[in-house]
């Protein structure tokens, strides 16, 4: 049976989109990469033959393109796609682990370099994925010597644009005081409410002065 003759709920590409790649078997994932079968056999059939030809999925992941080219139904385009996909995985695994925010001190440390020795108040946002890994770190506002605005809409937009699930904030007090102002408390409360409305989690908001920091209650 050809893949296009299967019901939409059984086609590998449609299943990947609807239920996620983790739900697909090895041959289904490979069939998505191959895109088509060969002379009456489906992409699923061809995927099964490729895995068997290479001696298993692990061996396939390390196979050179020319080995795949020895099979009927595998031309340069398919061999290149499969090889490129596995090489992308290896490159991704070789990248160093992203810095992770697991505590308020982690957040303060992540923001400190952007706030130390600044003569004006600045607001720094750190967006993280569900595991706390940093996706984006940015200075959002710069104000006077004693205050900066809390752009609630901009903060939420920046986190969502970065693909974040949670985020933390820090701002500096150039005067040296770690005491949060009433405006700091009110702005943090507004941001917490806005974050919850769109399903984001506010990790913490800290004040940094010199080499010290203090958490603003949320």
Please state the domain extents for the chain: 3-94, 104-216
State the alpha helices, DSSP H only, in the chain: 12-19, 26-34, 43-54, 57-61, 65-68, 76-94, 104-115, 152-161, 182-197
Whether 137 contacts 126, CB under 8 Å: yes
Specify the pLDDT at position 145.
43
Whether 74 contacts 50, CB under 8 Å: yes
- CA geometry: angle at 77 spanning 72 and 79, to 5°? 60
Which has the higher per-residue pLDDT, 38 or 137?
137
CB atoms within 10 A of CB 163: 11
**Quick one: average pLDDT of 182-206?**
94
Which has the higher per-residue pLDDT, 7 or 30?
30
Of the pLDDT bands very low, low, confident and very high (cuts 50, 70, 90), residue 16 is confident
Percent of the chain with pLDDT over 90: 59
| Three-state SS at 77 | helix
- CA geometry: angle at 160 spanning 155 and 165, to 5°? 100
Of the pLDDT bands very low, low, confident and very high (cuts 50, 70, 90), residue 8 is low
Name 209's bridge partners. 212
Percent of the chain with pLDDT over 70: 90
Specify the pLDDT at position 10.
62
pLDDT per position as a tens digit, 115-162: 888 888 899 999 999 999 999 999 988 765 444 568 899 999 999 999
Specify the pLDDT at position 37.
87
Place of tokens 């958490």: 215
Of the pLDDT bands very low, low, confident and very high (cuts 50, 70, 90), residue 6 is low
pLDDT per position as a tens digit, 69-110: 999 999 999 999 999 999 888 877 766 567 899 999 999 999
Q: Which CATH class is domain 104-216?
A: alpha beta
Specify the pLDDT at position 11.
79
Whether 53 contacts 71, CB under 8 Å: yes
pTM of the model: 0.58
pLDDT per position as a tens digit, 42-55: 888 999 999 999 99
In whole angstroms, what is the distance from residue 125 CA to residue 6 CA?
A: 48
């Amino acid at each position: 049976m050809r893949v296009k003759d299967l019901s939409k709920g059984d086609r590998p590409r449609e299943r990947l989109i609807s239920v996620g790649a983790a739900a697909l078997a090895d041959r289904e994932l490979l069939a998505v990469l191959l895109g088509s079968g060969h002379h009456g056999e489906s992409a699923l059939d061809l995927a099964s033959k490729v895995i068997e030809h290479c001696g298993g999925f692990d061996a396939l992941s390390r196979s050179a393109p020319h080995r795949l080219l020895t099979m009927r139904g595998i031309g340069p385009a398919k061999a290149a796609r499969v090889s490129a996909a596995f090489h992308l995985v290896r490159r991704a695994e070789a990248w160093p682990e992203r810095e992770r925010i697991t505590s308020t001190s982690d957040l303060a440390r992540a923001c400190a370099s952007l706030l130390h020795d600044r003569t004006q108040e600045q607001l720094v946002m750190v967006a993280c994925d569900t595991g706390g890994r940093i996706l984006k770190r940015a200075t959002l506002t710069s104000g006077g010597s004693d205050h900066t605005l809390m752009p609630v809409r901009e903060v939420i937009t920046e986190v969502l644009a970065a693909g974040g699930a949670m985020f933390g904030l820090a701002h500096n007090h150039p005067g040296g005081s770690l005491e949060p102002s009433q405006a700091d408390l009110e702005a943090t409360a507004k941001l917490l409410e806005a974050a919850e409305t769109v399903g984001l989690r506010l990790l913490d908001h800290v004040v940094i002065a010199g080499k010290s920091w203090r958490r603003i209650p949320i």
